Amino acid sequence: MSDLKGKVALITGAGRLNGIGAASAMILAQAGANVAVSDLCAAPSNLPHGGNPNWDELVTVADRIAEHGVKSLPVKADVTDKQQVDAMVQAVMERFGRIDILVNNAGVIIMPLPVLQLPEDVWRKTLDINATGTFLCCQAVLPGMIERVFGRIVNMASIAAVRPRIFMSAYAASKAAVIALTQSLAQEVGEFGITVNAILPGDIDTGMKQWGMQFESTMTGKQYADVVGDLESRIPVGRIGTPQDVAQLVAFLVSDSAEFITGQAYNLTGGRELT
């Protein structure tokens, strides 16, 4: 395991106990990093996949981080709001004095629909959260990283960015923007000892993915178990990924072992995009 003792990480979209953000927080804590976790923590919304994590769940994630013998901090923030993003970063700086690692994990799928039927506000909100949120968080942490001549940024994109599926135009476009931002920013800040990479998860067993498979079951009339089985049959390694699979790659990319890796976009799919 990488040694991150004394490092400080900020992970957005980490309010789900079974999510990629929380899994990443735990593995970085195990490696010795102090970890701040953030999420929207808004009232239940009309998002079809269950809305937002609540404050209690985010605090539980922070408590579990602290069980690894490091310090933690839960912070409520809307990544689409610059003032809230700046306040989030300021809160982390006040608590820990620095931010060495940023994992931009906050993201959303709102409404799978044909382009012809896709409401403009859904398109805009998807891009605001997935793309603009990533931009704002990068912008907020960069001054401190540049001053210290060190930083690790990992942006969570999606295999949908390079293998878009039907009815997923807004999500795919937003995640393609994340890849482009990653590759451009990596060139801007490399001279300051800052690396910027993206991860493109495929089918990962999170609440959002479970909602998606249930949605497919409802729309096609297939049994849920059959939807899962059909998906697994198209993945060469024979299973759906776990949040821990993604967290392992996060841990590598923020470690000293990856200091010569930047501007890359890593497919993490079990080979799914090859089939």
Task: Calculate the CA 74 to chain-centre distance.
Answer: 16
In the chain, alpha helices (H) = 20-30, 55-66, 82-96, 120-127, 133-148, 169-189, 207-220, 224-233, 243-253
For this structure, is 171 an active site residue? yes
Quick check: helix, strand or coil at residue 28?
helix
- Tokens linked to 226: 């059959």
- Tokens linked to 223: 């049994």
Longest Cα–Cα distance in the chain: 56
Contact 168, 112 (CB under 8 A): yes
Find tokens 């990479």 and name the residue.
197
Task: Calculate the CA 238 to chain-centre distance.
Answer: 24
- Residue of 16, 29, 30, 106 lying closest to 72 (CA atoms): 29
- C-alpha 236/C-alpha 269 separation (Å) is 9
- C-alpha 231/C-alpha 64 separation (Å) is 32
**What interhelical angle do 20-30 and 243-253 show, nearest 10?**
50
Residue type at 39?
D
Of 96, 123, 135, 171, the catalytic one is 171
Active site residues: 171
